[in-house]
Amino acid sequence: MLAATASLVLGACSARTDDSGSEQPSQPPQDSAPAQAANAADPAGDGNATCDAGTKLAYAGTINGQNAALGQNILNGVKVAIKRHNDNNANCQVELQEFETEGQPDRAPGIVTQMVNTQEIIGVVGLPFSGESKAAGNIFNEAGLVQLTPSATNPGLSENGWTTFFRGLGNDNSQGPAAAEFITGDLGAQTVCVVRDDSEYGIGLANSITSSLADKATCQQEVKTRQTDFSAVVNSIKGANVDAIFYAGYYQEASPFAQQLSDAGVEAQFVGPDGVKDDEFVKGAGDAAEGVYFTCPCVPADQFTEFTNAYKAESNGRDPGTYSPEGYDLATILLKGIDSGAQDRAALLDFVKGYEGQGLTKNFKWDDKGELAASTVWTYKVESGKIVRNTEIKPD
């Protein structure tokens, strides 16, 4: 099990004694999940919307490909918003088209080209991953098709001059420093090994947290997408004898990596980011998942009761996952635009550029680069085989 070493003091918390009489580091209490804002945007609107038959929005991203669960979380959130809208607006039935990119940068440009050539599509929720977003963002931009990503966090995406790109969460320049603060503050780690994969996401996030950790980043390792044997990296980390490990990448590789660390007897505290925070990681890592922490620029959905119930109905009883509420919020913004009369690409893009309003997850208002004015980062942990909220990381 990837538990903290005996010498790793968790924050400033005092020790407690368990039933066996030995002292264990006490855990800070969980922060309360945010309540749903009374003025959160509702995709149902006033029920009086009208629009042309065949008006379409789209989801683009992984559905059944690599790290598919992360894309399915988002897609189901989008479906909840569109169903709620259509159930309440008989004269405006917005269609949703789904485009499978498998999360691959080499596949995304062709799929996005197909999408932008479908003129009835006037707005897109996606792409989920940073690599595919980098590869295809210029195609959206040239077509004037607004793209709202609920999860692509590489900071460089907003520096390309794209006028159609909008990010529905904080980027890695907010998550990296927050993760460093949590690992060194709450977890008390003095030595940290930063492990990154070869994706745009992993590279950007690793750079951000390494910079923020400064001299406490005493070890750095690299792995590859689809890698399954991590023995060399595990042995290097074991020899480094660090207090904590931060894995910058996705759950598909993080699961066997965590298991192999555990099998090798590495006791450093394992921390993963939003790309690892999924039930598929817990399944894949087995016992090694217990006690793992995650950082994520996403808020807990615990008190979004109406959304959660609708999501479970849409997803055969599954609870919302990472970025499900964000997918819902971004689809809701596009639907509000359509209901306001913004029913072509140019009008809907202008609507999003000028949008300001409260959603389930946050207040949405973008700058001229498509970045949010404010964002938040939460931590989560695995307890008894379940991912549960932990604390919000609040800047000093």
Identical fold for domains 56-171+300-365 and 172-299+377-393, yes or no, is yes
Q: How is the chain split into domains, by residue range? A: 56-171+300-365, 172-299+377-393
pLDDT per residue rounded down to tens, the chain (396 residues): 333 333 333 333 333 334 434 333 445 457 888 899 999 999 999 999 999 999 999 999 999 988 999 999 999 999 999 999 999 999 999 999 999 999 999 999 999 999 999 999 999 999 999 999 999 999 999 999 999 999 999 999 999 999 999 999 999 999 999 999 999 999 999 999 999 999 999 999 999 999 999 999 999 999 999 999 999 999 999 999 999 999 999 999 999 999 999 999 999 999 999 999 999 999 999 999 999 999 999 999 999 999 999 999 999 999 999 999 999 999 999 999 999 999 999 999 999 999 999 999 999 999 999 999 878 999 999 999 999 999 999 866
Residue with tokens 């010498």: 7
Instruction: Give the burial class of 220: count Cβ atoms within 10 A of its Cβ; 0-12 exposed, 13-18 middle, 19 or more buried.
Output: middle
56-171+300-365 belongs to which homologous superfamily? Response regulator (3.40.50.2300)
Q: What local confidence, expressed as pLDDT, does residue 13 receive?
A: 32
Q: What local confidence, expressed as pLDDT, does residue 24 receive?
A: 39
Provide φ and ψ at 258, rounded to 5°.
Answer: -60, -40
CA-based nearest residue to 276, from 179, 363, 188, 192: 179
- Cα–Cα distance measured from residue 247 to residue 224, given in angstroms and rounded to the nearest whole number: 12
- Cα–Cα distance measured from residue 28 to residue 187, given in angstroms and rounded to the nearest whole number: 10
The reply to whether CATH 3.40.50.2300 applies to domain 172-299+377-393 is: yes
- Cα–Cα distance measured from residue 381 to residue 31, given in angstroms and rounded to the nearest whole number: 12
Q: What local confidence, expressed as pLDDT, does residue 272 receive?
A: 98
Q: What local confidence, expressed as pLDDT, does residue 230 receive?
A: 98
The CA–CA distances, whole Å, from 78 to 57, 97, 101, 181, 355 equal 10, 11, 17, 33, 19
Q: What local confidence, expressed as pLDDT, does residue 69 receive?
A: 93
Cβ count near 17 (within 10 Å): 10
- Cα–Cα distance measured from residue 310 to residue 393, given in angstroms and rounded to the nearest whole number: 29
